[in-house]
Structure 1
Amino acid sequence: MDPLGPPDSFPPGRKFRVLAEVLRRQVADGQWPVGGRLPTEPRLAAEHGVGVNTVRRAVGLLVAEGVVERRQGSGTYVVRRPRPASAGRRLVGVLVPSTSYYYPRVIEGIERTLTAAGTGVVLASSDYRCDREDAQLRSLLGSGVAGLVLVPNLHLVADAQRHVDALRDLPVPYVLAERRPPAPAPDDPTTYVTTHHAGGVHAAVRHLVGLGHTRIGYLGRVRTGTAQPITAGFAAAAAALGVTPVPEAVVCRESWTAGQIGEFARACRTHRVSAVFCHGDRDAATLLAHARRLGMRAPGDLAVITYDDEVAELGDPPLTAVAPPKEQVGATAAELLLRRIDGGAGVPVQRVELQPRLIVRASCGGADRRAAAAS
């Protein structure tokens, strides 16, 4: 998914604990040796996309464990390597691309399932870097984990299927979460759990068509973990549901500036586009702001549906959103991994797709139009 996101996008009550585990692993890996000083709290906050208070609470946990100590006027220093938080228990490694957007809720589902099974979690993040992914994977294996839940950076490598195939050499069982082999052989042995992204997009476009929209735009992304299925899903849904093609309003970029979104809004007005599906809450909110400046009312002149539902309900107006079942993806991946660990080679390969939900809010006008039709 898109690594960009608002500060403090960890689940409430969990974010500082997730960050503490990340910092704990970095100390254990020697990123900051005994006697070394941690970066400042503002720097850690910027690196991990959280607030300074979240960093302060996370570091406080490490202080309480005796891993680091704060020295007045000097900084925070490592005083010993951390002991495994789950010493004496079976451990599972979890490698995600980010701990500050989308994946905190996936992590929460994994942790809940593994904790209930008496299994400890060792968390690592690749920060959307392939070299770091390899290093973190080696570190997790060195920690003695019994299995792995992996979210590899398939969208960043030249040959994604080869990357997946190479995982077969891992010495422990593994399950992919929110990733699947892109070009698998019929006997591909990869167990995975993903959101059916294209299904969520189809539900969104169907909803807009049901509200009377036929000229629907798409503000998309490239080079994210879900860009390909979401973009392909929009094209397939538009063709199947009779949406009028408007090439000027179907645009994908690696990243969107506010100015570029403003140009997109003008194109929608010029080409009489009445609804837009956006890949990402923040881009959708920015689009609505630009539309208002152009005199376009939402949802009267421009209805918007977004994909992710990270902060969609905070929009003005609140954004209708496709909501991936993030916690359920994590929980299901953990369940499948435990079966593979306990059952060995005899456990069948499983491929699970979970359908996202469409949450209707004010930005598409669905509730208002339904009410009007019923009156």
Structure 2
Amino acid sequence: MKSTEKKDSFLRGPKYLQVAERLRREITSGSWAPGAQLPVERELADTLAVSINTLRRAVSELVDEGIVQRRQGAGTFVSPLPEAAPAEAGSPKGRRLVGVLVPSTTYYYPRVVDGIQRVLRDAGVGVVLASSKYDLGIERDEVRAMLDSGVQGLLLVPNLHLLDEPQDYVDDLRRLTVPYVLVERRPPSPAPDDPTSYVATDHPGGVCLAVRHLRSLGHERIGHLGRLRTGTSDAVARGFDEAAALLGADVVEGAVARADIWSPEGIAAYARHCADAGITAVFCHGDRDAAALVVAARRHGLSVPEDLAVVAYDDEVTEVGDIPLTAISPPKEEVGALAAQLLLSRMDFGSGAVSHRVDVQPRLIVRASCGAAPGDR
């Protein structure tokens, strides 16, 4: 990174230089680690209360100084640290860096990242955060870019559900030259001696909590409104089937329905089927689908929770409707924190580190949509 002469303070000079100075200070203070992607232009301009043009001129200043880099079609990134000279590579003054790859920075994973950053910050370790945007090509490029930026470890949430041979992908990770830990992902069909370390939510266990709760409230005919082809949809669907069999739920024809994306018409048809088939409770994979089912059920004369109890999975946006949703809440921050602790251990012990397979059980948060009083289990 090039050295620069001190610019005007944030209180003086042209607006774009003020913005450039503010961004420079935030990067220097570690708000964005080397290799990290800056927010998209609109978001960053709104945060700084400036126009897009002013922001672009400010960023161009930092590009000229070598502080940030523009990547065509990908965004703007903090420039990686220069490679240390051999004599300095092991210096205790060198700050360690960990690369974190998630599929999304707007849903589910922000709280996972919060847990990761809390542990790494306390350990004095920097974070290079990247998002694959559920795109295999971007995922590959971002992992390569993080390795090029000099990270000493990786926390990965790979898009295994998009791959034809996901186990092959997991096996290939062993070729990485740095320690890694999977987060919210497991090897899909591992050999008994698979050495992959992971920390993940026990999704089938969480579903069982939900079905057990509904059975305790007297519901026998229970449905599952689910998703297809997401990172967790198959585990959640399997968990429902196993829990229904274990707890003696009556899963009538049509009670289980899954789709890539649920349209309002599709959810309305499912609500009608619940009324016709005498289904009195539904477990929904996704808060938004659960909220939409509540609306559709009421339009078809079903009172929630009196006629139809609803339990959601995710607990991201469960309290925004007029009927707050009972939900299974994955322990997102805890998963992130445990994964970061495990990776730090692997970084410290190197090839002698013991592999860990950690499953963390979700919580049941009781609200109005199931008919039980908060606190009931």
**What TM-score do the two structures reach when normalised by structure 1?**
0.81
SS at match of 2:319: helix
**Deviation of the 1:246 alpha carbon:** 1.5
Between Structure 1 and Structure 2, how many residues are aligned?
A: 325
**Deviation of the 1:129 alpha carbon:** 0.3
In structure 2, do the counterparts of structure 1 residues 258 and 55 end up closer, same or farther at CA, with 3 Å as the change threshold? farther
Matches within 5 A, 1:49-60: 52=43, 56-57=46-47, 60=48
SS at match of 1:312: coil
What residue is the counterpart of 1:97 in the other structure? 103
Structure 1 stretches of 4+ with a deviation exceeding 6 A read 73-76, 368-371
In structure 2, do the counterparts of structure 1 residues 86 and 144 end up closer, same or farther at CA, with 3 Å as the change threshold? closer
Same amino acid, percent of matched pairs: 54
What residue is the counterpart of 1:116 in the other structure? 122
Structure 2 residue identity aligned to 1:249: A
SS at match of 1:188: coil
What residue is the counterpart of 1:44 in the other structure? none
- d(CA) in 2 for partners of 1:322 and 1:55? 36
Q: Does 1:278 align with 2:268?
A: no
- d(CA) in 2 for partners of 1:72 and 1:55? 8
Query: Contact (CA 8 Å) 1:180, 1:192: kept in 2 or not?
Result: yes
SS at match of 2:234: helix
What residue is the counterpart of 2:241 in the other structure? 235
**Deviation of the 1:89 alpha carbon:** 1.1
1:164 to 153, 159, 170: 170
Matches within 5 A, 1:1-375: 21=32, 25-26=36-37, 41=42, 52=43, 56-57=46-47, 60=48, 71-72=53-54, 77-79=59-61, 80=63, 81-82=66-67, 88-367=94-373
Query: Contact (CA 8 Å) 2:35, 2:79: kept in 1 or not?
Result: no
Unaligned 5+ residue runs, structure 1? 1-16, 28-37, 42-51, 64-68
- d(CA) in 1 for partners of 2:232 and 2:182? 14
Show CA shifts across 1:43-86 (max 9, x none): xxxxxxxxx5x7622xx49x9xxxxx964598765331436699
**Deviation of the 1:236 alpha carbon:** 0.4
- d(CA) in 1 for partners of 2:40 and 2:157? 27
- d(CA) in 2 for partners of 1:283 and 1:22? 36
Structure 2 residue identity aligned to 1:140: M
Query: Contact (CA 8 Å) 2:34, 2:80: kept in 1 or not?
Result: no
- d(CA) in 1 for partners of 2:111 and 2:335? 9
Structure number with greater Rg is: 2
**What TM-score do the two structures reach when normalised by structure 2?**
0.80
CA-atom RMSD, angstroms?
Answer: 2.8
Show CA shifts across 1:94-136 (max 9, x none): 0000000000000000000000000000000000000110000
Structure 2 residue identity aligned to 1:273: I
- d(CA) in 1 for partners of 2:347 and 2:254? 51
Structure 1 residue identity aligned to 2:264: A
In structure 2, do the counterparts of structure 1 residues 239 and 273 end up closer, same or farther at CA, with 3 Å as the change threshold? same
Structure 1 residue identity aligned to 2:171: D
- d(CA) in 1 for partners of 2:35 and 2:52? 15
In structure 2, do the counterparts of structure 1 residues 291 and 147 end up closer, same or farther at CA, with 3 Å as the change threshold? same
SS at match of 1:278: strand
What residue is the counterpart of 2:86 in the other structure? none
What residue is the counterpart of 1:7 in the other structure? none
- d(CA) in 2 for partners of 1:110 and 1:220? 29
- d(CA) in 1 for partners of 2:367 and 2:193? 43
Query: Contact (CA 8 Å) 2:113, 2:333: kept in 1 or not?
Result: yes
